[in-house]
Amino acid sequence: MHYLPLWLDEGTAELYAYTRFQSHRIYVGAPTERYRTLRGGTPIPVEKFIGLGPRSPYYIDGSQNQLYYAESWALVHYLIYGEGMENGKRFDQFSNLLQQGVTQKDAFRQVFGDFKKVDQGLGSYMLQPTFRTTILKDSPAIDEKSFLIRVMSIAETEAELGGFHVWTRDLRGAHELLDQALKDDPKLALAHEQMGFLNFAEGKDSQAETEFAEAYALDQSLYLSLFYRVMLSALASSNNVTEMNAFAGTLGKVLQLNPNFAPAYVALVKLALREGDLNSALQISRKAEQLEPSLAGYHLLTGQVLKRVGKTADAGAYAKFVADRWIGSDHDEAVELWNSLPAADRPQLQPSETELSDIEKGAQISEGKIKLVSCGDADNERSLVLEDNGHALTFRGKGFVTGFSDTLWYGEDHFDLCHHLEGRRVMVRYRPTADASYAGEIAELGIRDDLPGPLEAALQSVSLTPETKPQDQDSSEQKTQNQDFGLGIGARGKQLGALDILSDTEGVDFGPYLQKVLEELRENWYHLIPESAETKKGKLAIEFAITKDGKVADMKLVASSGDVALDRPAWGSITASNPFKHLPSDFTGPYLALRVRFYYNPDKNDLPDSNNRRVGHNKSTPPVPQLKVRSGIKVSVYPPINLLISA
């Protein structure tokens, strides 16, 4: 779709929002409760109305926006059901002209005629005692007995209701429900997850991280808890290569739980940019964009990566795509990208069809990094300290417009002006004040999520061996890390199928257990391999120990491929698999030490067995486990590429 004007967007939403369901009939287009606002007031002239933008007081002012929503519904309803509108055919003609790039005023005149005649028709239409609707018949053959039903416990009910209160920003009500849910069932994962969201909303990030960790430990299907836990941990911002790999591994596990969770892909894009892997960043960004095509920021993310790749003409096309279709902060962000490109790569933008709002007419603009945000109490006033070219500027305001980048990792559902904004770049529209204690009254904020640059110094470190404990491990894991597992010294090890065992097995048959280990490594590895690996060649080896409770300890990269983009997915496949199943019960030793090798696009002789025969399998025909020979498993990922894992 080329673009949807604000009035048409809101009016269509109103049209469907008040659909009525009665018996076996569905009434689409039933009147909104707000239509009485028009009967008791004066409509905005249509020519002016369709030019109002998101910064108009008619849209943002609580005393006037009821009229805006009512007229949005009325105009859409009239253009579909009104006399002479041909049951919506003319409305479709108007929409088609918009998608062809015709300005909405020209399209409106072409299809509906003179604006004053439309004003008269709309005014008469709203005085009707009844309104037409579209009637649909629902299916009477719904067998309620076919639905699966489960009675929720009291604690589950309290947790669900508590989560709703968090979402609606009723934090006091959320506390009462979630505190009670955890009293009723301290082991309820959902209650811990919702308590994590509540703590996050209150800016209590440490407590939130603890709650998310507990929720995931209780229920390892909770991908949101795993995602929030790792994004709140030190791993998310670490420049240590080991911890960056652990971070990627956890994101891989999130995507294993929910392959369509776009924010995890965005986090991987940012990680790839920090590593300087632009090709992977571009491919992952396009995946996120496909999953969330309605979010302007995801298109702009791809545009920004294209700019870094050097494809500035393509980046210009992305900037135009968003600038011509979105309004408000999204539009401004697209124009920023457009302005950053060479003049030759800037396609002409469609002129804005919305009139300048009072915000834009009377405001100045300041840009900088947010240093401090303070929130008032009952009056809802906000105070913001901005660093601009070394100067600290203070702004105040309440009831102002706020926009932010779609790529903020916690998204719209958990965005809050009072928390998690320090250090972010912001555009402030403000009205200057005579009071010398602050710079001005906030009219609008546009919060940006700037992408990171490459961390060349960090990525030039030679080893991925964890010199220190990753920050998201608990104290019991720290004790495990301090043990000496005898790894990284070139031990020959005992060969068992696809793995080298470097410690005493005490005669226990580890074949079935290691087959499961290998399968889990494969699955997590494939989720993390960038498409750019299609043309890359390399091999590496990693040694690690599995403790009795299945936890991974003492990982060491004993042979690097020389390419972090190849080492990281292999490393991440192990951290994402952590913990494995407990070691076999008949094994009395403290741990099992292993060595595993990963191959990208191997040569023919990379994987000989004991008789110098190559062993491999295509992904389309799953391999039969061969635990008595030296073997590799050959598969294909999205572009055809040979990937093997072997002893």
Q: Which of 447, 473, 495 is the last residue of a domain?
A: 447
Same domain for 196 and 302: yes
Q: Indicate the residue type of 87.
A: N
In this structure, what token pair is assigned to residue 535? 């043309």
In a domain, 217, yes or no: yes
Same domain for 264 and 158: yes
Same domain for 373 and 508: no
Note down the domain range covering 26: 6-145
pLDDT (0 to 100) of residue 628: 28
Element (H, E) at 453: none
423 backbone φψ class: left, alpha, beta (φ>0; ψ -120 to 50): left
The total number of residues written for the chain in this structure: 647
In a domain, 58, yes or no: yes
Distances from the Cα of 346 to the Cαs of 42, 327, 349, 450, in angstroms? 43, 19, 8, 21
| CATH number reported for the structural domain that contains residue 174 in this entry | 1.25.40.10
The domain tally of the chain equals: 4
Give dist(CA 118, CA 177) in Å, integer.
52
Q: Which of 123, 145, 167 is the last residue of a domain?
A: 145
CA-nearest of 576, 544, 552, 476 to 220 is 576
Same domain for 68 and 132: yes
Same domain for 388 and 287: no
Give dist(CA 321, CA 300) in Å, integer.
9
Same domain for 48 and 119: yes
Give me the residues of the chain with pLDDT under 50, please: 457-482, 487-493, 496-498, 608-647
Other C-beta atoms within 10 Å of 507: how many? 7
Phi, psi angle pair for 627, to nearest 5°: -90, 0
| CATH number reported for the structural domain that contains residue 440 in this entry | 2.40.50.140
Give dist(CA 259, CA 589) in Å, integer.
37
In a domain, 212, yes or no: yes
Q: Is 24 helix (H, G, I), strand (E, B) or coil?
A: coil
In a domain, 352, yes or no: no
In a domain, 353, yes or no: no
Same domain for 188 and 64: no
Same domain for 580 and 537: yes
User: Which single residue is written with the structure tokens 């870094």?
Assistant: 308
Model-level pTM?
A: 0.74
Give dist(CA 291, CA 375) in Å, integer.
35
Give dist(CA 595, CA 487) in Å, integer.
9
pLDDT (0 to 100) of residue 604: 66
In a domain, 387, yes or no: yes
Show Cβ contacts of residue 495 under 8 Å, excluding neighbours closer than 6 positions.
Answer: 501, 630, 647
Same domain for 640 and 504: yes
In a domain, 63, yes or no: yes
In a domain, 458, yes or no: no
